[in-house]
Amino acid sequence: MADRRVPALRWEERPEGPAVVLLDQRRLPGEEVELVCADVPALVDAVRTLAVRGAPVLGLSGAYGVALAAARGADVADAAGQLAGARPTAVNLAYGVRRAEAAYRAAVDGGGAVPAAAALAEAEALHAEDAEASRRMAAHGHALLERLCPAGGLRLLTHCNTGSLVSGGEGTALAVAVSVHRAGRLRRLWVDETRPLLQGARLTAYEAAREGMAYRVLADNAAGSLFAAGEVDAVLIGADRIAADGSVANKVGSYPLAVLARHHGVPFVVVAPVTTVDAATESGAGIVVEHRPGHEVTRFPVSGGAAVAPAGAGAYNPAFDVTPPELVSAIVTEAGVVSPVGREGIAELCSPSRTGTSRTGNGMMNA
């Protein structure tokens, strides 16, 4: 099968110096335009303005950003601080920064490698790990759905965007849906539009169309009627941060889906790499939720940003919400599936003895 993925991010050696090249997600689905970030301020701006977004690829952005600073002779510590603070809720961003910066510092301190080369090598290693993690998550999530819904075509509801645009591989939650599709078991992919920036309608539908999936876009507030009609077999979402108790921060609108899923007896499944787990955050109450500019709500994000509210209207615009663990049926990672979701399973997932295969016991289950 031909690879239909469009790389969200890549490193490029250019005559004028290295750069991080992004597929500008603000321009999708109308245009596939590359954005060349030749320095860290440009990359930080791309992160903040959502030219690049999604937890795993933000981790890659952070790592490649440190490598870019090192290669360009910039202050690496300052660059690392700018990158890590660009979006506070997405834990993967700071994780990628820390990994590349640690490799750089080890080389500076006499590790035998050229510091800039060491940072780049670490970013490339993280990129490869993310692609492998995506493959494993797809396999574990697919196997879980086969057990939960053993008969008939699956009708899956997803929120925001979790495909190859957010990953070094095929994504997180959408990678599971793609695996189900390729196995011939996907009856319908329901795509929440995901207001206010329409990451579902613009990006997930774009990826689903490229894959040839049977999908339909719906307004976020239409999801309840889908559940009531019995048209949803499982909900699949990603995560930007998972606390030690299993609370999940994801794109705003995820929590209402979890409530609807619980009321209607539908599995609510979170798919995210282990790096998204932040064991230092004890519970959902400790997750800092990013609030974004009000104009994202009061002006439509396409068609030239036409106003949809009166001039001067205020807006409430959290980028994320937090779903408590009791509403999450399972968390799928590259290391296996946590179910039931709680502190014990999360702790085992993050233990030093963790392997790349699914395990049983203490809240972990075979995928």
CA distance 316 to 340: 33
CA distance 216 to 249: 25
Distant-in-sequence, close-in-space partners of 324: CB < 8 Å, separation ≥ 6? 247, 284
275-to-29, 96, 256, 292, 363 alpha-carbon distances in Å: 29, 9, 25, 24, 18
Residue type, 245: D
Q: Counting every residue, how long is the chain?
A: 367
Q: What are phi and psi of 283, to 5 degrees?
A: -150, 175
Marked catalytic residue, from 240, 245, 278, 321: 240
Residue 138 CB burial class (10 angstroms; 0-12, 13-18, ≥19):
buried
Tokens 């603070």 — which residue?
A: 85
101-to-34, 83, 118 alpha-carbon distances in Å: 26, 11, 9
Q: Is 240 a catalytic residue?
A: yes
Tokens 């490193």 — which residue?
A: 11
User: Among residues 38, 42, 32, which one has the least CA distance to residue 15?
Assistant: 38
Q: How far is CA 201 from the centre of its chain?
A: 16
Q: What are phi and psi of 111, to 5 degrees?
A: -75, -5
DSSP annotation of 203 reads I
DSSP annotation of 189 reads E
CB 267 within 8 A of CB 261: yes
Q: How far is CA 182 from the centre of its chain?
A: 21
The SS3 call for residue 272 is coil
**Per-residue b or e along 65-90, where b marks 16 or more CB atoms closer than 10 Å to that residue's CB:** bbbbbbbbebebeebbebbbebbbbb
Catalytic site residues? 240
